[in-house]
Structure 1
Amino acid sequence: MSATIRRAALLGASLLALAACATAPSPAADGVPDVRPEPQAAPAPVRESTPFTLGTDQPRTPEQLALRFDKADLSIRVIPDNRAIDAVAVLDFTATDPVAAVVVELDTLLDVSSVQVDGVEATGWSNPEGRMTIPLPRPLTAGESVQVRIAYAGQPRVAPNAPWDGGFVWATTVDGQPWIATAVQPEGCDLFWPCIDHPLAEPGRVDLHITVPSDLAAPSNGRFLGTVDHGDGWTTWNWSAANPNTYAIALNIGPYEEKSADYRSRFGNVVPLSYWHLRTDDPARVQALFDQFAPMMDFYEATVGPFPFGDEKMGVVETPHLGMEHQTINAYGNEYKLDGKGYDWLLHHELAHEWFGNQMTNRNADDMWLHEGLGSYMQPLYLRWLHGDRYMEAELLEQRNQLLNRFPVVSGEDRAEDEVYQQDRGPGLDLYNKGSLIAHSLRLLIGDEAFFRSVTRLVYGRPDPRPGNFTTRNATTGEFLAILEAESGRELDWFFQGYLYNAALPDLRQTREDGRLRLEWVAADGRPFPMPVEVEIDGRRSTVDMTGGRGEIPAPAGAHVLIDPENKALRRLDFIEAWKGRIPDGD
């Protein structure tokens, strides 16, 4: 998700169903919270979808497991005056095992007028609760293909609070023109197109044909294939995206202008840069934001690897909601606000998800920290890239002060997105902040070379990514652990257990007597936690090798002792606990 969440928490907002959001912004300089209000005068009443549709990452049916989703061809007319859509989806599948039906998800708020299988009207199909089952005329054997055509229309769900509680946003610009966007990560792709709403069921390609009033533009995912003006006040915008993350398919309609340039990658290819902004925007602000695109791309390519979708574009579109990592067309709604850090936090965080979320997608929401934590760690790293260590440490401290430590970052069991993003049931904001701090401690433990090699392998599935030699992939926490151990030559299960699979932070306890300082790590699960600890005694630093979680060092009486002077080890700290009110002051 995106940087949206953490700042909303800093402002006291509740964490809702979230979307692709991450380390959030701080209040603006004038004291106004850095959260965009809904631009519409009065929110429309919410037409509610079924509980099934409002969930995402649901277990797939046997029929879905037996099909490979080859392609979706989506023709969608967006009708601003009626807040409605009229659409046709043509879906191509190949059987990987014998199968007698096609099963997809589509919101029951949308009325289906026709279902065809290989050009013949289908009978016996049903769509209870938003899971549509379409019996095939005859079962398919492995290797056979089928094409399903679904015509549907209606008023899709209105987002109560995009991007955290998603759907369509029907807004207007300052000069009264329609401004429309979708943001559906918490609920999934089935809010407006028939899909298999699961991260392991991405289609191989999605072609989009978005028809809108001719005075509006419709930037979307992937490569631009041109427009067709129908001469009747409507124009179709055509796009094609390879291997898209399903919730990242996005509609964006408004009075846009495009600013574009080419980015010459450090890997030798040229990547189109594209920013679709409102025509009424201040040109100087537009240019200032656009000028950040290339430096951010260079940072990510130097830190992680080549931009994953270089043959399509690095695209950004201005939206009436805060933001979301829509693959190759990231949503941006930060209104060009500055926060004294020298870069736009929202633009940077959503761009992180092109690597951590779109190129590498977790296999299950229980591994969401691979998106949000590693994506959030890119912000302090970028601050160091721009301004040096002081700015990086300041960002890490901001993240440290927001830790909740109520639920483990990773449970070890398959979970739905709501279970990890809702902080009364799961890690919530800790996916971002704690995930980032865990990554920082891990990097300092094993060293830059092993850490960044491991991140590259996790993202691309290989150590030597180059444009054209990789494709999108899925990953798990366990896979990341195995990669880290192989790259570092160290056993790291204790590190993952102590930080990711326990809610409470490891506690470093100390006693000082007889001229010695004795240290002991106490992990929440009681397992040994052999994290080395730096100690500074009267200005001289030494590293205590905490074999078995214990260690000691000479410390003469009266000497000044400073534990972990560079804050390398994420740990429980009494003064932070007291500040947060979890233990009484002075206890």
Structure 2
Amino acid sequence: MIPTGRCAWTHYAARDRPRDMHRASCKEIRGADLVPSSRSGDARHAQPLLQRPRRSRRARRPRAGHPARAGRGARGSAAGTRRRRGHVRRGVARRGARAGAAPAGPPPDRRCPDHRRGGGSCRRHRAEADHRAGADRACGQGRPSGPRRLRRPRPWHGSTPGRRRIRQPARGPRSHRLGRAAHRRALCGWLHHSRTHHDRPRMRSRVATAAAAAFVTLLAACTTAGEDASAQETPSPVNGAAGIGDRYFPADGNGGYDVTHYAINDTMRLRAGTLSGTTKITARATQDLASFSVDLLLTVTGVTVNGAAASYSRPNRHEVRIRPKSPIPAGKTFTVVVGHQGTPGSISWEGERSWFGNEREVVAINEPHIAPWWFAANDHPRDKATFDIAVRVRRGNQAISNGSLVSTTRTPNWTTYRWRMAQPMTTYLAFFAAGRFIVERGRTAHGTPYLIAVSQQLGDAQQRSALALMRRTSVVQGWLEDRLGTYPFPVTGGVVTSHRTGFALENQTRPVYPYLGSDADWLVAHELAHQWFGNSVTLESWKDIWLNEGLATYMETWWDNRREADQPAALQDWLEFQWETYANGSDFWQVKIGDPGTKSLFGDEVYQRGAMAVQALRHRIGETDFNAVLRTWVTRHRNGNAAIADFTALAEEISGEDLDGFFQHWLYDTQRPAHTEENGF
């Protein structure tokens, strides 16, 4: 077989020229002019137009009796015609052979004794065969690049091989042309069927060997090219980033995956202050992962990925780097189970001690960080997930957490409480409180089930006033729903702890409060407002904290002025008073509340100036548009994340005003906004 890399015009030249022209170089052949044929009905490559070779003076006629002599009959005879056409049309040659005619072909060199004996192995002919095989390989680069279909040419005419005329292959219509693969198949088949009868056996053997070698080389090249292409199309697995990219807290969160669900099973031993258990994380890979990280400050006791043991390391106390046995493809859902144990109360990270506990009561709350103290997490607000939280405590104690109580399982010594948060929640809002509590259940004015709990570690009078405050949850939440729309979660409530936390926290569905008496309903309004601003609609990055605290503080202020006959006017008076209280140049105006930095993340500037900016916006765009902004905001981004830029764009969309200057003055300037109508005065 002839190699598929052989170019068409080299084949024409090597096959159809006289033997003394076979020594012409491939370079000369490629340099020849290409002339299209006038034949039609098919598409072919052009071939070089070769000059008729001058008959060698030293060439001799074959002697009488030579086998080729019988094939040189009269030009007009039928036998002669058959012999002349036999080197292309084998069937005609066979018929000629049956008639007694010898195969047609060029006269052998009379001076070559090897050739005369039929061996075909003289030095000259071996050199010519080697040259032609080399020319075929060298000319692979000269193969025409356009799609052309090749057909076997018509029989050559002429009385002697030295006088053949070269016909040009026809250029067929465009619709008949083939693609590259079909072109190669047609070329290979054409070359196979167009071998001449005067090819010598040894030459055919060498050509077949060269063809086989070329085929193997081509197959290997195609395989290598396919592997290279596959390697380029399939990126190599990467190590997920140790950090989600928040410049306020670079170590928080992790890259390469998105958590969809947490299943936490912890055992809390109150007297010992120890916690142990497992966290099962269900996540979807966003990259081809060779490894990934989770945030955890407890000691790791074991890790599995998709049920198989996985190796892990601790680059620092905050990170657990996990390497599964096999990479995780992008888009694939996987599970990782992390076993952990430790004493959360003794752990600090970058100055934070996010744990409140003693031998009688524990409450796991803090912001911005609490999750790594009691479960493995992708600890950043941007990655929200659903939760199943199971906490096992000694009998006689209770464990309260987010969402709805699913089951309570009792054994002789232990009780396990299982809670479920079916709506997405960010990690800093997940909590549990363990100890002894007074628990009440009921429904709000709008029919939402609530669960409130007060620590039994408080005195009797404190318990009564704390219960009175928690019962205000129903009224406050109903008032908020009238202004913001439907409460975003299926249950609500609150917990009053005996620990002096110094703050309340808006844990999803169940805020936690320190004891403040029965008159702190403004605090209940603030924390319940967070269920819309912060919990349902969660900030994109920590620099967007104004969306949480500014809006919640404003709803708290609005609640304080709810009894005023003209609430908008009363709130505008409050804005004027605050503006006059803090003189220009005071520290109060030095913080950019739209990007406050970590030191001022929970400072008074973010809360008070944030609420002032909201009231100024209300006065600037009017009551109707302002109410539409609040309702649209909590509806459009429900159960998701959003940034300050999203809020400002929404305000401009609804009001139809250009508010760039307004928000620049209130959120990003470090001086008191001018007392102008443009700034909401």
Give the deviation of 1:199 after TM superposition.
1.1
AA matched with 1:459: V
SS at match of 1:138: coil
> 2:415 and 2:358 mapped to 1: Cα distance?
20
Cα distance, 1:228 vs structure 2: 0.9
Identical counterparts, % of pairs: 23
1:83-482 aligned within 5 A? 83-107=273-297, 110-158=298-346, 165-171=352-358, 178-203=360-385, 205-232=386-413, 234-241=414-421, 242-265=423-446, 270-279=447-456, 280-282=459-461, 284-309=464-489, 311-320=490-499, 321=501, 322-338=503-519, 344-388=521-565, 389=567, 392=571, 400=579, 401=581, 404-411=588-595, 418-421=598-601, 428-461=603-636, 471-482=638-649
Q: Deviations over 1:445-503 (max 9, x none)?
A: 101111121122222217xxxxxxxx411111111111101111111111011111101
User: Do 1:252 and 1:317's aligned partners in 2 also have CA atoms closer than 8 Å?
Assistant: no
CA distance in 1, matches of 2:254, 2:320: 11
Distance in 2 between residues matched to 1:222 and 1:446, nearest whole Å? 37
CA distance change for structure 1 residues 346 and 319 in 2, over 3 Å: closer, same or farther? farther
| Offset of residue 171 of structure 1 | 3.8
TM-score by length of 2: 0.58
Aligned to 1:507: 674
Q: CA deviation at 1:353?
A: 1.0
Write the distance in 2 (CA, Å) between the matches of 1:396 and 1:160.
40
Determine if contact 1:219/1:317 at 8 Å carries over to the other structure. Answer: no
Any idea what the Cα deviations from partners look like across 1:420-453, whole Å, max 9, x if unmatched?
427xxxxx21110001011001101101111121
Q: CA deviation at 1:105?
A: 0.6
Q: Tell me, yes or no, if the aligned pair for 2:572 and 2:615 is still in contact at 8 Å.
A: no
Name the SS for the 2:417 alignment partner. Answer: strand
Cα contact 1:101–1:136 (8 A) shared by 2: yes
The answer to which structure has the higher strand fraction is 1
Task: Quote how far apart the aligned CAs of 1:281 are.
Answer: 3.8
Q: CA deviation at 1:531?
A: 1.4
- Distance (whole Å) between structure 1 residues aligned to residue 371 and residue 532 of structure 2: 20
Partner AA of 1:507 in structure 2: A
Q: Secondary structure at the match of 1:139?
A: coil
Distance in 2, Cα, partners of 1:494 & 1:407:
17
CA contact (8 A) 2:476 2:524 kept: no
Which residue number in structure 1 is paired with residue 133 of structure 2?
none
- 1:491 is aligned to 2:491: no
Q: Which has the larger radius of gyration?
A: 2
CA distance change for structure 1 residues 277 and 397 in 2, over 3 Å: closer, same or farther? farther
Aligned partners of 2:399 and 2:434 also within 8 Å: yes
- Cα pair 2:571 2:615 within 8 Å, conserved: no
> Going by fraction, where is helix more abundant, 1 or 2?
2
CA shift at 1:211, angstroms?
A: 0.9
Secondary structure, counterpart of 2:322 in structure 1: strand
**Residues in 2 aligned to 1:202 and 1:317: alpha-carbon distance in whole angstroms:** 26
Are the aligned partners of 1:73 and 1:90 in contact in 2 as well (CA < 8 Å)?
yes
1:221–1:90 CA distance, 2 compared to 1 (3 A): same
- Note closer, same or farther for the CA distance 1:272–1:318 as it changes in structure 2 (3 Å cut): farther
2:266 paired residue number: 76
Task: Give the distance between the partners of 1:236 and 1:158, measured in 2 at CA.
Answer: 25
Give how far 1:129 is off: 3.2
Deviations 1:119-164 (A, max 9, x none): 2221243352311110121122233222111111111145899xx9
Q: Letter of the aligned partner of 2:367 in structure 1? A: Q
1:73 alignment partner AA: A
Which gives a bigger RCO, structure 1 or 2 (Cα 8 Å, sep 6+)? 1
**Counterparts of 2:506 and 2:666, CA distance in 1:** 27
User: Conserved in 2, the CA contact under 8 Å of 1:101 and 1:133?
Assistant: yes
Deviations 1:160-214 (A, max 9, x none): 99xx954111147xxxxx12111221334212211111111122x1111101121
Cα 1:459/1:235, change in 2 over 3 Å: same
Instruction: Report if aligned partners of 2:279, 2:376 keep a CA contact under 8 Å in 1.
Output: yes
Q: Which residue of 1 aligns with 2:221?
A: none
Summarize the Cα distance change of 1:124–1:219 in structure 2 as closer, same or farther, 3 Å threshold: closer
TM-score (norm 1): 0.67
Return the letter of the residue paired with 1:435.
G
Residue 397 of structure 1 and its aligned partner are, at CA, apart by: 6.8
Q: What is the distance in 2 between the residues matched to 1:180 and 1:502?
A: 42
Equivalent pair of 1:166/1:182 in contact (CA under 8 Å): no
| Contact 1:169 1:180 (8 Å CA) reproduced | yes
Query: Any idea what the Cα deviations from partners look like across 1:98-130, whole Å, max 9, x if unmatched?
Result: 2222311111xx211111112222124335231
Distance 1:337 1:315, change over 3 A: closer
1:240 partner SS: strand
- C-alpha separation between the residues in 1 aligned to 2:248 and 2:335? 24
Q: What runs of 5+ residues in structure 1 fail to find an aligned partner?
A: 1-51, 173-177, 423-427, 463-470, 509-520, 522-529, 533-567, 570-587
| Cα distance in 2, alignment partners of residues 304 and 244 from structure 1 | 20
Give the conservation status (yes or no) of the 8 Å contact 1:319–1:331. no
Equivalent residues of 1:380, 1:391 under 8 A apart: no
- Name the SS of the counterpart of 1:350 in structure 2: helix
| Conserved? CA contact 2:477–2:525, under 8 Å | no
**For residue 72 of structure 1, what is the amino acid of its counterpart?**
Y
Q: Which runs of 5+ in 2 are unaligned?
A: 1-242
Are 2:260 and 2:283, in contact at CA under 8 Å, matched by a contact in 1? Answer: yes
Structure 1 residue aligned with 2:92: none
Q: Structure 1 pair 433/165, CA: closer, same or farther in 2 (3 Å)? A: farther
Alignment check: 8 A CA contact 2:345 2:356 kept: no
